[in-house]
Structure 1
């Protein structure tokens, strides 16, 4: 397997050749730049010629071609197949796998800039991937990190902290007792949805009713705030949460070029970092205010919401306020966003 020293040695070779270009001629600098440009172009083309595109080509060359190649589109040099992840990405990926045929219908490799990607279109292959420890972690998107989701169970790296979050979720938040105890709450919201649809007459936007019901369910189950879906007017808290969720989901769903082309990261061409930095203080203020309200409220014998449960944890399960905000914020965005599409 090639090491970084091998790559450094190859570039030293390029530079030594460039240094000899032109000798003492005044155009020596031009010769140096020309050789470096030619070496860069040659390296990009060499990486691009492999199945799966430039990211996979770089990986296979560092492994010295050990193992069997995975079929996939080459895309373009440097950027790979970035366009496959725009718009209706699932349809584009399925069409590309069908076009390639053969093994690509089971497992297809492609490149997003410098990121190696695989798509499994067969249930047996997908099952192996899900059960493999090699896929326990996923690359953290800049937006997910900026929105604190690296502290929540969906994006946290596999390890002691992730196992603690999983234990909290399975033992306290989604235990059979907690799910059963919140059944009347779900029944109330379902009844409100039916009433809202019945009173809407002939013309009704079902997506809007579902989205409002999901927001109300989040406010009730996560924060303990109960509102009537049939009033027709949303509360200020629900409107605020809706705005935060919309902005957060838009940032998470965006194809951020900086995630896959590290040399673009410092420029933030799509403004992702700036938008995250504006959103996070609003999230901290919204969720932190509700946590403070729960702390100052008198204990109740009623069914506990997620905030109450997290505040009641003791010992090794207890979360810091920053982690608690990240976990609650992640669950807030997990509900309403499913009705966005």
Structure 2
């Protein structure tokens, strides 16, 4: 009976547009707690204090909801229509991570997860909880345990079937469903993702130091970025896709079926000069419905200032100068740094 239900559940997930689905037990990742503890003890989480504060739940999914008997992991494709690395050549324009170029994926993905959950409740009863990134759930190890793919040397999930351009969601259920076989590593001797990182954020294969990761620095990190890392940011003003974009398994990437993940024209290579002059109201209006909105105007314009300084374009010197006395001291510091480089 449960085998039939699991097959029907996966069929419904495919109908809803998920690229892949798999099932594991809540206690399927016993090694996760130790790895997380090592990461936090080394301080590699940077300013992300919430990783340490909720380690008990994050390291042990069974503790998050003890009544759960199965975890259904879902992968949602957001494969870009272009090569994100091309944006790095246009230094007078900002490079925005592919996932942030349209609607906030949390809202889109959670809606689909809830639809799948309602289907499961109607078919078999039980109780469910759905999680998308914001809860203390280690989605990538769980996805590997559920057979969706494996965590590559860049620590992101990738698959021989759909590459690594995926969002992950989790559906916990009190139903006891048959488990899928875990996936194993297929990276081999490839080090493309490690070699391309502009800030050397990977101390070793399968390890990440967030304090050097451009995605962390442009999104999570508050205050000035270390001067030694600013040049490595290039024109990346929100996130970084380098290690994802270079992965050879992307030749099997699945086209994004959800229209809400297709890039907005105004978020594909926006002019730095245009972004630098945004005040708080204009920032909020421009990035309404986008995940970019959550970092706020000051942190975003700080990133834009670093990109100005890395542009090598003297025409942008006046733009940087206009922010040298910004009300936010971090923006002013970044602007002065940019102005000095362009002078």
Structure with the higher fraction of residues in helix conformation: 1
Larger RCO: Structure 1 or Structure 2 (Cα < 8 Å, ≥ 6 residues apart)? 2
Q: TM-score range by the shorter chain?
A: under 0.3
Structure with the higher fraction of residues in strand conformation: 2
Structure exhibiting the larger radius of gyration computed from Cα positions: 1
